[in-house]
Structure 1
Amino acid sequence: MKIAFLLHDAYGIGGTVSATLNLAGALAKRHEVEIVSVFRTRDTPQGSVEPGVRLTPLVDIRANSADKDHQLSRQPSAVSPRSPSFSQLYNALTDQRIGGYLDGTTADVVIATRPVLLMYLAHFGERDYLRIGQEHLTHDSQIPEQRERQNQIVPDMDAFVTVSHADAEIYRGALPHAASRILSIPNPVTLPTVMPARSGQHIVVAAGRLVKVKRYDVLVRAFEIVVRNRPDWSLRIYGSGKEEQALRELVMERGLYNHVRLMGPHAPMESEWAKGDIAAVTSDNESFGMTIVEAMQAGLPVVSTDCPLGPREIIQHGVDGFLAVPGDPESVAQGLLALINDDQLRLRMSEAARQNAYRFAPDVIAQRYEELFDHLLTDRVRKPLRPTARVLAQGRLIAAPGGGFRLQLKVTGEGATGYAVGIKLRDSPELRTIPLESGTLVKDARGQLWAETMIDPRLLRPHEGTWDLRLFGPEGQDERMVAEGVETQYLSGQAPWLDGQGVSSAIPYRTMDDFIALRTWFRPAHAEIGQVVVDEGRTGFHLSLLLPAPAQAGTAVHAVLRHRSDRTVEFAVPAQPVGEASVTFAVPHREFLARRLGATDIWDLWIRTGDGSEMRAGRIGGDIIRRKHTDRFPTAVDRSDLGVAHRTVAYITDDNDLSFSVKHA
């Protein structure tokens, strides 16, 4: 069997890299194994790659590499969201390289080791091989945006593996429709090659990143209690991180500089575990706890906080260690002193720790993965591959001629029923639902099935704002819709729609984090701005009046400029008719200068008709949702009667309406 692991950077260090290298090495004894490192950051890996494991880098980002300034690296990824929550290293070049690998690999199994790689596996992966995702953190510790994207993909995988039973249960609760695909297999930890720890050194050892979640401040305060009772013991903390200086200051403040030492990072740690008698972990959260297993393999009983999620699945309380209350130095100190003050208990727990840790040996964990592969492959043979009928929250929204939108949603299998499209107004309870008819399926050039439905934007009246598209499923799913594509070419140059109810416009777009959204406008009447001309001392406009009922001939029309902070301050400029439904006018800048109220004055443009009704003027038609960034006008410098210079500029607001800014030059 050929097994491939997708890894972000196999040349670096970290828990995911270590676990993957350990598992790959064990599997390579009986299988062909390849680690596909998306990025190459060093000449050689920092971890140990077993001789039977093939390492394949895809993008070389070392200094002076050919890929460093590759043209595609400057183009955004079509798979990884353009969001701070995701690595900005992913771009069009990684799309090309990962997609090429996944299209051409001969692997029987491909395993993705982080959310963004799961997205690539779902996007480019083939059903010829098993597609498996791994969670090396926890469901609740993931950045919400990453968790939402990952949760949408998990049901489309053959299996999804967490490193703890508790986290698997959380995932099953969050994804009941995919519960059968979710299981837990712990991380493998390489057996030590050094001699096991020999009791009598009177040293407590802790190791890990010096970051807040590890709560080494709790450990230091706990050891202050230990020292008061047993001053012959010392504490060594290995690692580096942002909390190092704060910990040094705490050690000095508590007078523990003779008993607590910050040792800095050390790799491998096995030789340092062997110097200790007891290991300590005081984290607020642990997805697994590789350091716990490493310490136990070296023969150290472990005192750990009973934090979510891993420690309680590794340590047998009272047998090979103790579980303490998270965040409580007194509870941690009690566990440490129980072992420190009883040599026989410490020896018994040391032996138990060494025996119990064997269940995390790479060969043992590799066997569990082999059983998973065999089960999945046998299931495929027993049941010819026919994907479970399911609609995925991954879609394409296409503007159609005439103002409607065609929504296509990715489908696995045929006959999926009970789904609905939800269109929810952001920050509001307003929701519109459209049942998804399962019979309307289309197939693209790659053989992917899509369920298709039409969205009439008039359904969203009378509200203005941003709407998020969601997918509601038959088992209670409620997922935000990922943008496989948004096409708006039919909207280019299209005017807002006018009917007996009012004026509407709707523009779909891909959000910065790659979801589908709709920006809508609805008004009883509206003035759509056409040409704008900035002349000496004035700004001229050509507007189309969109009125539910035609204005009577000879009806007067005025442009009204109203001060935003003091709506009682305004002035009007007469408009001249051009044809049946258009007007022109020019706004003299001197009118602004004569009414200065502050350092910066903002004036909003309205149109008032002879019957006293008013409408906002702006640009809400077409295909551009944020004209503030695209439609810019020249700045004019004008002088008041007192000779003071002012800058006057017309601009488009966040709502695509028009306003003026007036400030001192």
Structure 2
Amino acid sequence: MTRHGGGTARDIVLVGNEVDELGGVGRWQTFMARLFAERGHRVTVVGVAPAGSPFDLGEDPPFRTLTLHDARPPGRRPVRGLRGRIDPVARRREAVRERERREAAGRLTALLRESRPGAVVIVTQVWAMEWVALADTAGHTVIGMSHESFGTSRSSSRFARVKRYYKDVDRLLVLTREDADLWIGEGLNHVGFMPNPVPLEPGPPSPRTDKVVAAVGRLGYEKGYDLLLDAWAEVSPRHPGWRLRVHGSGPDEEALRRRCTALGLDGSVEWAGRTEDVAGALRRSSVFVLASRGEGFPLSLLEAMSRAVPCVAFDCAPGVREIVRHEEDGLLARPGDTAELARHLGRLLEDPGLRDGMGDRAYRNVRRFSPAAVTDRWEELFDLLER
């Protein structure tokens, strides 16, 4: 079967932790599902569990959805000593957990058995791979993904699970060549890399006239908003009239607001909450800042650049420096160096010519990650793996 525009129309099944969880991977998963569907592929998005903080998939999305469990399944409880191994209550609990996991994997197997020859299973998160590993994927191409940097993965429990659960997939994809080389060094010789696409449709650039520095993301430890406030405490007194506008919500919001007050920044920091109009928020800003402690291939940088907004960021991952070219279309600071982050912000705030030049170059350079270009790369990979 051929798709519109030529090539093979496939069944594509994206399997993640949730179908519609608010966050970078969830947004990427939904966006790619739409891009694949627009190319004529038949797409299903599968989640292991319901989302805790769901986002709106929109009216009549062009893909099917399936959630394997009605509630988030419990994790395996550690068993300590002989007594733990023979405890009948613990053994029954583990037996129930395992039976429910296999029943859920059976629902995925049933879906895959309905798929046409040449189907592709894309596992977007390694936790979800635990269910894919239990399902019958015979005859289908399985692609595993890690949406974080090698360094971030290595510092978490996901590192061992990537090596365990992805070792036999047809291809493991990470976000940059640099990360792929590091995983190959761990003995995984089937690793490739695939960048994220710009997640916004082409639109008008920011005029860069508002005295606003924008930040977009979940208010959690990994995103480094505490570090951003420390940097802003150095920037704000030297640049009166400029505001830091934070778009997002999360578990650290109350603590961050208290820190903001303690630093005397209430007059120059605006807590704007979650927004469904990221493009509009970026068009109303002149600079974008990312102070994350760790990242993969941050969509927020792509979004800002697609609106001609120059970016200042911590160089915390290969994906960051893959997107932002230091001193060309943005500025990168050493990870955690709030003084350097503050200096870079200051340069852009006080120099409209620098701001405009970097913003215009960002608008041009980000096109290498256009949805069409990235989807082409995916389809080329599907053809390669089918041979």
CA distance in 1, matches of 2:70, 2:376: 33
Q: Select 1:119's aligned residue among 130, 136, 144.
A: 130
Cα shift readout 1:405-437 (whole Å, capped 9, x = no counterpart) = xxxxxxxxxxxxxxxxxxxxxxxxxxxxxxxxx
Name the amino acid aligned to 2:307.
Answer: A
8 Å CA contact retained: 2:208, 2:283: no
- Alignment size in residue pairs: 354
Give the direction of change, closer, same or farther, for the CA distance of 1:7–1:340 in structure 2 (3 Å limit). Answer: same
Aligned to 1:32: 42
Corresponding residue SS for 1:287? coil
Instruction: Tell me the CA shift for residue 73 of structure 1.
Output: 11
- Map 1:281-296 to 2 at 5 A: 281-296=290-305
CA distance in 2, matches of 1:295, 1:169: 28
Instruction: Tell me the CA shift for residue 93 of structure 1.
Output: 3.3
- Relative to the length of structure 2, the TM-score reads 0.84
Instruction: Tell me the CA shift for residue 350 of structure 1.
Output: 1.0
Name the amino acid aligned to 1:76.
Answer: R
- Map 1:236-385 to 2 at 5 A: 236-378=245-387
- Map 1:427-446 to 2 at 5 A: none
Aligned to 2:200: 191
Higher strand residue share:
1
Cα shift readout 1:546-602 (whole Å, capped 9, x = no counterpart) = xxxxxxxxxxxxxxxxxxxxxxxxxxxxxxxxxxxxxxxxxxxxxxxxxxxxxxxxx
- Map 1:479-558 to 2 at 5 A: none
Name the amino acid aligned to 1:3.
Answer: I
Name the amino acid aligned to 2:145.
Answer: Q
Aligned to 2:234: 225
Aligned to 1:640: none
CA distance in 1, matches of 2:95, 2:348: 57
8 Å CA contact retained: 1:5, 1:35: yes
8 Å CA contact retained: 1:22, 1:189: no
Give the direction of change, closer, same or farther, for the CA distance of 1:50–1:362 in structure 2 (3 Å limit). Answer: farther
CA distance in 1, matches of 2:251, 2:49: 26
Higher helix residue share:
2
8 Å CA contact retained: 2:35, 2:375: yes
Does the alignment pair 1:5 with 2:26?
no
Q: Select 2:211's aligned residue among 193, 202, 206.
A: 202
Corresponding residue SS for 2:205? coil
Instruction: Tell me the CA shift for residue 243 of structure 1.
Output: 2.2
Does the alignment pair 1:131 with 2:142?
yes
CA distance in 1, matches of 2:23, 2:165: 25
Instruction: Tell me the CA shift for residue 297 of structure 1.
Output: 0.9
Instruction: Tell me the CA shift for residue 354 of structure 1.
Output: 1.3
Give the direction of change, closer, same or farther, for the CA distance of 1:144–1:306 in structure 2 (3 Å limit). Answer: closer
- Map 1:8-87 to 2 at 5 A: 8-30=17-39, 31-40=41-50, 46-48=56-58, 51-61=61-71, 75-77=96-98
Instruction: Tell me the CA shift for residue 366 of structure 1.
Output: 1.0
Give the direction of change, closer, same or farther, for the CA distance of 1:226–1:40 in structure 2 (3 Å limit). Answer: closer
CA distance in 1, matches of 2:248, 2:137: 41
Cα shift readout 1:211-245 (whole Å, capped 9, x = no counterpart) = 22222122222222222221121111111223222
Q: Which structure's CA Rg is the greater one?
A: 1
Instruction: Tell me the CA shift for residue 329 of structure 1.
Output: 1.8
Instruction: Tell me the CA shift for residue 324 of structure 1.
Output: 0.8
CA distance in 2, matches of 1:41, 1:232: 40
8 Å CA contact retained: 2:314, 2:341: yes
Instruction: Tell me the CA shift for residue 145 of structure 1.
Output: 4.2
Give the direction of change, closer, same or farther, for the CA distance of 1:367–1:48 in structure 2 (3 Å limit). Answer: farther
- Map 1:579-590 to 2 at 5 A: none
Name the amino acid aligned to 2:186.
Answer: A
CA distance in 2, matches of 1:329, 1:235: 15
Aligned to 1:182: 191
Cα shift readout 1:33-83 (whole Å, capped 9, x = no counterpart) = 2222334569x9623477432333444459xxxxxxxxx9982126xxxxx
Instruction: Tell me the CA shift for residue 162 of structure 1.
Output: 0.9
Q: Tell me the percent identity.
A: 29
8 Å CA contact retained: 2:105, 2:134: no
CA distance in 2, matches of 1:49, 1:38: 22
CA distance in 2, matches of 1:48, 1:158: 32
Instruction: Tell me the CA shift for residue 271 of structure 1.
Output: 1.2
8 Å CA contact retained: 2:20, 2:30: no
Aligned to 1:96: 106
Does the alignment pair 1:165 with 2:177?
yes
Give the direction of change, closer, same or farther, for the CA distance of 1:73–1:370 in structure 2 (3 Å limit). Answer: farther
CA distance in 1, matches of 2:224, 2:338: 10
Instruction: Tell me the CA shift for residue 122 of structure 1.
Output: 3.2
CA distance in 2, matches of 1:151, 1:254: 43
Corresponding residue SS for 1:156? coil
Name the amino acid aligned to 1:155.
Answer: K
Corresponding residue SS for 1:105? coil
- Relative to the length of structure 1, the TM-score reads 0.50
Give the direction of change, closer, same or farther, for the CA distance of 1:73–1:274 in structure 2 (3 Å limit). Answer: farther
Unaligned runs of 5+ in 2: 1-9, 73-92
Cα shift readout 1:603-643 (whole Å, capped 9, x = no counterpart) = xxxxxxxxxxxxxxxxxxxxxxxxxxxxxxxxxxxxxxxxx
> Which structure is richer in relative contact order (CA contacts within 8 A, separation 6 or more)?
2
Give the direction of change, closer, same or farther, for the CA distance of 1:141–1:10 in structure 2 (3 Å limit). Answer: same
CA distance in 2, matches of 1:102, 1:191: 31
Structure 1 residue ranges (4+ consecutive) displaced by more than 6 angstroms after TM superposition? none
8 Å CA contact retained: 1:302, 1:315: yes
- Map 1:420-431 to 2 at 5 A: none
Corresponding residue SS for 2:166? helix
8 Å CA contact retained: 2:106, 2:135: no
- Map 1:459-474 to 2 at 5 A: none
Which shifted more, 213-222 or 145-154? 145-154
Name the amino acid aligned to 2:192.
Answer: L
Instruction: Tell me the CA shift for residue 165 of structure 1.
Output: 2.5
Aligned to 1:480: none
CA distance in 2, matches of 1:248, 1:110: 42
Name the amino acid aligned to 2:177.
Answer: H
Unaligned runs of 5+ in 1: 63-71, 79-89, 379-665
8 Å CA contact retained: 2:14, 2:46: yes
